[in-house]
Structure 1
Amino acid sequence: MGGAQEQGTSSQPGPAGTRDEVLDLVRFFCLALVVVGHSMMGSPVLHPDGTVTTHNTLAEQDWFEPVIWVFMVMPLFFVAGGTTGLQSWQRLKAGGGTAAEFLQARLLRMVRPAAALLAVMFLGLWMAGLLGVHPQVVELMAAGAGMPLWFLAAYLAAQLSIPLLAAFHARSPWLAMGVLAALVVAVDCLRGTLPLLAYANLVFLWCAVQQLGFLAADGRFARLSKSGLLALILAANLLLGLVAALGLYSGNMLVNLNPPNLTLFLLGISQAALIELARPALVPLCSLGWVRTLLRVAGGRSLTVYLWHLPLLVAMSGLLLLTSVPKPAAGTAEWWWSRPVVLLSLLLLLLPAVAAFGRLEDRPTAALQGRRPPAMAVAAAVVVVFTPAAVGAAINGLTLGLLGAGAACFLLALVLLHGVRRPLRTGSAPTATEMSR
């Protein structure tokens, strides 16, 4: 979810110098859906001994499984990120830029907002522990509030691989796609005997979905007829239904999300084709003035909204447990009627958070002047960001200790990156509303 606006207002997929407003609209819809969905999930309960238990009320509904099949939008973020990321890399490369500059831009755009979040979360939860909040509650809040960070890590890993995967794609796009898909299947086949290997698909799976965005950037989906797009959507969903019916994978896309597996790649194929099929209807909508204003304002702070919405929701829920405000039992009619109030309260809390931290999404060029980024400095920043602590958080969940370690690592990465003294090239800035997602 990048922030800087780029030149051009095209709503059609095109060369690397144009904006695809349809993708901006799709990303906005997906982010809104994520925020609304999370507001309907958590149901914490405070017990007399000071501990808290929580469960996912939405996921326990009988109708949830077919609905999440339709509304699992995570692949869409990576498809859109693949399209805009490839175009951004092509612009930078055409202007004489290097892979180190591209990686530097991506790291700064995503790590700055995340570092602020981690630091605030660590300080807030640490103070809560000092004030007597039960340690189990502190760890539960850390784990729940840190859930969006798995996506940030996976998206950043996919984006940082763009220079390498773009070169593979330029030589043989279908071979590149086939190799990544084969790696996904191989990991899925071995995950029963080597459970930890399943988390390798946080890279292989999402890079494969990102390659679908590369194909979209090449215009391959646009060249398909309506019947061809419909056939592709139908085939992907039939294959998805088949592997679920055979028991090879769950039919619940939320279960398939962590760790991710082949079902999300099939869903990504369907969604990439659906975007192209819906494009003729979406282009006129994108031309409306109020829609463009909404996408420009909301899109410029989309990463901040994504990172902060769940921590704020967790904090609000935790504080409400300490009050006498009526708390209906999860899943009851009263609980469902209270969801709009929860959502509205969350949006009101997001306003000051976006005002305070949203500017961290702005293109960070002021301190970067002088020379090309040293490849070793950028490589060191990548290693620092993806430390064993970060991997442990992705696999085992975020704890207060890992939260503090993650904040320190992200801040160290920023020191390494800001030690570089060269302005980022115009072409290196991510597209507006891009998930840095």
Structure 2
Amino acid sequence: MTTQTKRLSRAEQVHAATPPSRNRVVDFLRAAAITVVVLGHWTIVAVDPRTGIEPHGVLDHAPWTHPLTWVFQVMPIFFLVGGYSNAISWRSARKKDQTYGAWLRTRLRRLGIPLLPLLIIWLIICWVAIGLGAPLSTMQLASQMALIPTWFLAAYLMVIVFAPLTLVTWERFGWWSVIIGLVLAAVVDLISIGLDNSLIGYANYVLVWVSVHQLGYAWLDGRLAGTARRLALAGIGALGLALLVGLGPYPVSMITSGADEISNSNPTRITMAFLGMVQAGLVLAFEPALNRALQRPRLWLLTVLVNQRIMSWFLWHLTAMVGLAQLLLALGGIGLVEPLTTVWWLTRPLWCLVLLAITAVFVLIFGRFESPKPDPRPAPPIWKPVAAAICCVGGVAVLASVGLVGAQGVNGYWPVLVLAGMVAFGVLRMPWDRPRTPRAEQTDQPAVP
């Protein structure tokens, strides 16, 4: 049997093993979104052989790219599919009489355990590099760049903590739960921008993303059925976004640019909610066509494979880029060209292929942490996973903003806070933990059973 036949056989097996009730479009959108995020980060970041890493170099120096961020800023898609998946997960837990504490601990294990190797390794890198004389500013930028993906985990974990409550709100109030969220987000922006206080604006990490998350509930419950409704949602989002950008203080770029006084994404602004409506409406309008395409075994197998290691691709892709960039800079800028030149654009595919290979090595090494063993411990009291979530959110939110290094050296207490919270509050199962009941807690399933 040839290799090609073997691959086809495997694809057919995965296709046949997928339950008919599974919405394959959910998995495809998640995989497609992570692909856009990874390629987008590798392209937006400019590495100048003279000045080093420029986190938003393309956006800072090429304003014509700002409208493209309406397509490439796909974080709303993650919250859309998250709402769909979390509603299924929590409703299933309720039917099985699983407690909120057990459910939340399972979600924390699924998201938090793959994060720990990244934090530990970067903590070691910073300690060793600074001990060997690396400038603090260099390590601050490097660690901040590598840990940028953790901001999403902070926001997503907060949304998960509130998911049972927001689902009940949706079930009772329907679209009013979305409208109220948008109104509250607008009030937060009004106060935050009016007072020039970004700290107040961080409340929208919950309000905006919960509102987009609610769209996933609407999708699951059939409240967005039909092309007309989906295009209407996209139209409302586009109109709102155009008014906010055209008449309001918001910039065109949906990704932070140094050329803008206000960022749409840091902190999250209400513009991201309207962008989420546009993207949700448009991608769901193509759901029937996507579902037909995903009946092809090879495309479905690719979707499954990406989803099985999606956290690892997301968490490690910027580490690969920072590592390669620092190596080339240390070698005198060999292989690097001036950003935004014709040669630079022509070499982007090669740049991405090299980074893809490096990231794949990280995924092979650390991907195993995405498949934690079943947890046979009894359900914890609610306060324990909630406390663990607070530690994780607090730690990664700071790391995503400032990195691991400050003016005085390595700020090791933030990753330690994440690790200590997961250990102290029972998310990690330690060797001394012994189950008191044979009943096992269910773990999240991969894309295909």
Q: Which of the five TM-score ranges fits, normalised by the shorter chain? A: 0.7 to 0.9
CA distance 1:85–1:402, change in 2 (3 Å)? farther
Quick one: distance in 1 between partners of 2:404 and 2:209?
A: 21
1:381 maps to 2:388: yes
Deviates most, 197-206 or 247-256:
247-256
1:344 maps to 2:347: no
Q: Structure 2 matches for 1:419-434, cutoff 5 A?
A: 421=435, 425-426=441-442, 429=444, 432=447
CA distance 1:78–1:61, change in 2 (3 Å)? same
Q: Structure 2 matches for 1:76-115, cutoff 5 A?
A: 76-115=77-116
CA distance 1:247–1:177, change in 2 (3 Å)? closer
8 Å contact 2:126–2:405 — kept in the other structure?
no
Name the aligned partner's letter for residue 328 of structure 1.
Answer: V
Q: 2:218 aligns with which of 215, 228, 244?
A: 215
Residues 403-432 of structure 1 show CA distances to partners (whole Å, capped at 9, x for unaligned) of 632321222233222267476544x52663
Paired residues, number: 414
8 Å contact 2:115–2:315 — kept in the other structure?
yes
Name the aligned partner's letter for residue 196 of structure 1.
Answer: L
8 Å contact 1:83–1:216 — kept in the other structure?
yes
Same amino acid, percent of matched pairs: 30
- Cα deviation for residue 352 of structure 1 reads 1.9
Quick one: distance in 1 between partners of 2:206 and 2:36?
A: 24
Cross-structure match for 1:15: none
Quick one: distance in 2 between partners of 1:7 and 1:425?
A: 27
8 Å contact 1:6–1:19 — kept in the other structure?
no
- Cα deviation for residue 395 of structure 1 reads 4.7
CA RMSD of aligned residues (A): 2.5
Residues 146-203 of structure 1 show CA distances to partners (whole Å, capped at 9, x for unaligned) of 1111111111111121112112222222332233222211111101213310111111
Cross-structure match for 1:237: 238
8 Å contact 1:52–1:136 — kept in the other structure?
no
Deviates most, 111-120 or 231-240:
231-240
Residues 308-355 of structure 1 show CA distances to partners (whole Å, capped at 9, x for unaligned) of 001111111011101142321111112122212221111111222111
Unpaired segments ≥5 residues, structure 2: 1-13, 256-262
Cross-structure match for 1:392: 398
1:38 maps to 2:41: yes
- Cα deviation for residue 229 of structure 1 reads 2.6
Name the aligned partner's letter for residue 126 of structure 2.
Answer: L
Cross-structure match for 2:3: none
Quick one: distance in 1 between partners of 2:440 and 2:267?
A: 35
Q: 2:318 aligns with which of 293, 302, 310?
A: 310
TM-score (norm. length: structure 2)? 0.86
Quick one: distance in 2 between partners of 1:429 and 1:402?
A: 35
Cross-structure match for 2:329: 321
CA distance 1:345–1:407, change in 2 (3 Å)? same
Please give the secondary structure, in 1, of the residue aligned with 2:70: helix
Q: Structure 2 matches for 1:3-42, cutoff 5 A?
A: 9=18, 18-42=21-45
Q: Structure 2 matches for 1:22-421, cutoff 5 A?
A: 22-45=25-48, 52=52, 54-59=54-59, 60-192=61-193, 193=195, 194-222=197-225, 224=226, 226-254=227-255, 255-324=263-332, 325-365=334-374, 368-387=375-394, 389-396=395-402, 398-399=404-405, 404-415=412-423, 416-417=426-427, 418=429, 421=435
- Cα deviation for residue 399 of structure 1 reads 3.1
Quick one: distance in 2 between partners of 1:61 and 1:210?
A: 32
Q: Which has the higher contact order (CA 8 A, sep 6+)?
A: 1
CA distance 1:279–1:8, change in 2 (3 Å)? farther
8 Å contact 2:312–2:370 — kept in the other structure?
yes
Name the aligned partner's letter for residue 56 of structure 2.
Answer: N
CA distance 1:52–1:274, change in 2 (3 Å)? closer
Quick one: distance in 2 between partners of 1:252 and 1:40?
A: 15
8 Å contact 2:169–2:177 — kept in the other structure?
yes
8 Å contact 2:69–2:253 — kept in the other structure?
yes
Please give the secondary structure, in 2, of the residue aligned with 1:256: coil
CA distance 1:238–1:139, change in 2 (3 Å)? same
Please give the secondary structure, in 1, of the residue aligned with 2:113: helix
Quick one: distance in 1 between partners of 2:410 and 2:445?
A: 29
Residues 336-386 of structure 1 show CA distances to partners (whole Å, capped at 9, x for unaligned) of 222122211111112221111111111431xx3242223233233123223
Quick one: distance in 1 between partners of 2:120 and 2:135?
A: 21
CA distance 1:256–1:135, change in 2 (3 Å)? same
Residues 83-140 of structure 1 show CA distances to partners (whole Å, capped at 9, x for unaligned) of 0111111011111111111110111111111111000111112211122222211111
Cross-structure match for 2:9: none
Name the aligned partner's letter for residue 63 of structure 1.
Answer: W
- Cα deviation for residue 234 of structure 1 reads 2.2
Quick one: distance in 1 between partners of 2:383 and 2:265?
A: 34
Quick one: distance in 2 between partners of 1:7 and 1:407?
A: 42
Residues 293-318 of structure 1 show CA distances to partners (whole Å, capped at 9, x for unaligned) of 11121110001100000111111101
Please give the secondary structure, in 2, of the residue aligned with 1:63: helix
Name the aligned partner's letter for residue 358 of structure 1.
Answer: G
Quick one: distance in 1 between partners of 2:410 and 2:397?
A: 10
Unpaired segments ≥5 residues, structure 1: 12-17
CA distance 1:397–1:247, change in 2 (3 Å)? farther
Quick one: distance in 2 between partners of 1:280 and 1:26?
A: 13
8 Å contact 2:15–2:297 — kept in the other structure?
no
Please give the secondary structure, in 2, of the residue aligned with 1:252: coil
TM-score (norm. length: structure 1)? 0.88
